[in-house]
């Protein structure tokens, strides 16, 4: 991977949209090995009876700590590039991947509504927070179309969610997003294998059904500020709390 530094334009775009998309960033052997592992699991180890659990947590759970899957993040140069978002703060070690697969149309797979990860999740206790700072997703397989199980996100939605968490939400309530966010379709991540999405934790998102004939497969890496456990609750209402340099840019831009 030739990319080593974020540009000023990318920093501004991340602050505005909460999302960065890098095309063809992960490729070659690193991509091929991970994709083969997941596709082999899907053909040989997938248990249809566990579809809901896979969808809520992770497909291929035995691959979450596999070195070839983690290499998508650590050996592609992606870790250094994504970590720049938090400089001069540092990230906690990323030791686990989440595999998400949207199966072709016909599978009885739950449709995820608009949400932010780790807050009021149906498989967690209401007062449990399983949040992070931002997420990195690598496309492993699937059709590059909006209706093929693509991630749908709300550009700029992190600002609305920070206001919601500050003024209209208390820890333990069931509602994950306000009604105006929940009603949105979002922007589809139309992407090919090797493309990467980086998304602020507060950007609301959902995933729909896959009407194509090909599974849509993503490997996600949750990245946290090294002190995230101490900052997590405050970070819900302060989107730049964990991003020192971006917080300074936000203050400068508003002065």
The region of weakest confidence among 21-30, 125-134, 193-202, 205-214 is: 125-134
**Angle at the Cα of 202 (from 198 to 204), degrees rounded to 5?**
85
Q: Looking at the predicted structure, is the pLDDT value of residue 42 above 80?
A: yes
DSSP code, position 234: H
pLDDT-above-70 percentage for the chain: 93
Superfamily of 8-254 according to CATH: q2cbj1_9rhob like domain (2.60.120.620)
| Domain parsing of the chain, residue ranges | 8-254
What are the pLDDT digits (tens) for 180-191? 999 999 999 999
Residue 123 is predicted with a pLDDT of 55
What are the pLDDT digits (tens) for 104-158? 986 778 777 899 998 866 555 556 678 999 999 999 999 988 889 999 999 999 9
Residue 204, helix vs strand vs coil: coil
Residue 124 is predicted with a pLDDT of 55
Task: Copy the structure tokens of residue 119.
Answer: 């807050």
Consecutive H or E run containing 248: helix 244-254
Q: How far apart are CA 11 and CA 24, in angstroms?
A: 19
Other beta carbons within 10 angstroms of residue 84's beta carbon come to: 13
Q: Looking at the predicted structure, is the pLDDT value of residue 102 above 70?
A: yes
The region of weakest confidence among 115-129, 163-177, 224-238 is: 115-129
Q: Looking at the predicted structure, is the pLDDT value of residue 45 above 70?
A: yes
Residue 3 is predicted with a pLDDT of 53
pLDDT interval class at 255 (50, 70, 90): very low
Query: What average pLDDT score do residues 229-254 get?
Result: 90
Q: How far is CA 28 from CA 22, 42, 81, 82, 192, in A?
A: 16, 21, 18, 20, 14
Query: What average pLDDT score do residues 194-200 get?
Result: 97
| CB-based contact 51:109 (threshold 8 Å) | yes
What are the pLDDT digits (tens) for 70-81? 999 999 989 998
Task: Copy the structure tokens of residue 104.
Answer: 């072709």
172: alpha, beta or left? (left if phi > 0; alpha if psi -120 to 50) = left
Residue 215 is predicted with a pLDDT of 95
Residues 6+ apart with CB under 8 A from 123: 56, 57
User: What mean pLDDT, rounded, does the chain reach?
Assistant: 91
Q: What is the pTM of this model?
A: 0.93
96: alpha, beta or left? (left if phi > 0; alpha if psi -120 to 50) = beta
């Amino acid at each position: 991977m030739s990319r080593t530094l974020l540009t000023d334009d990318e920093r501004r775009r991340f602050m505005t949209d909460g999302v960065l998309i890098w095309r063809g960033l992960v490729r070659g052997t690193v991509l091929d090995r991970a994709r083969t592992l997941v596709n082999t699991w899907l053909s040989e180890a997938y248990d249809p009876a566990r579809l809901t659990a896979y969808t809520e947590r992770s497909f291929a759970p035995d691959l979450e700590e596999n070195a070839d899957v983690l290499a998508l993040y650590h050996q592609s140069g992606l870790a250094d590039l994504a970590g720049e978002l938090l400089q001069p703060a540092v990230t906690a070690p990323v030791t686990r991947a989440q595999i998400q697969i949207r199966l072709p149309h016909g599978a009885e797979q739950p449709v995820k509504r608009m949400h932010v990860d780790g807050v009021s999740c149906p498989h967690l206790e209401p007062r449990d927070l399983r949040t992070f700072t931002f997420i990195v997703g690598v496309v492993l397989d699937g059709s590059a179309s909006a209706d093929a199980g693509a991630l749908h996100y709300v550009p700029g939605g992190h600002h609305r969610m920070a206001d919601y968490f500050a003024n209209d939400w208390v820890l333990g309530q069931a509602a994950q997003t306000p009604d105006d966010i929940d009603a949105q379709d979002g922007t589809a991540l139309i992407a090919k294998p090797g493309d990467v999405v980086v998304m602020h934790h507060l950007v609301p998102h959902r995933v729909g059904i896959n009407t194509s004939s090909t599974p849509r497969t993503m490997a996600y890496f949750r990245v946290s500020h090294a002190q995230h456990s101490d900052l997590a609750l405050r970070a819900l209402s302060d989107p730049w709390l964990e991003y020192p340099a971006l917080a300074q840019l936000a203050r400068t831009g508003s002065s």
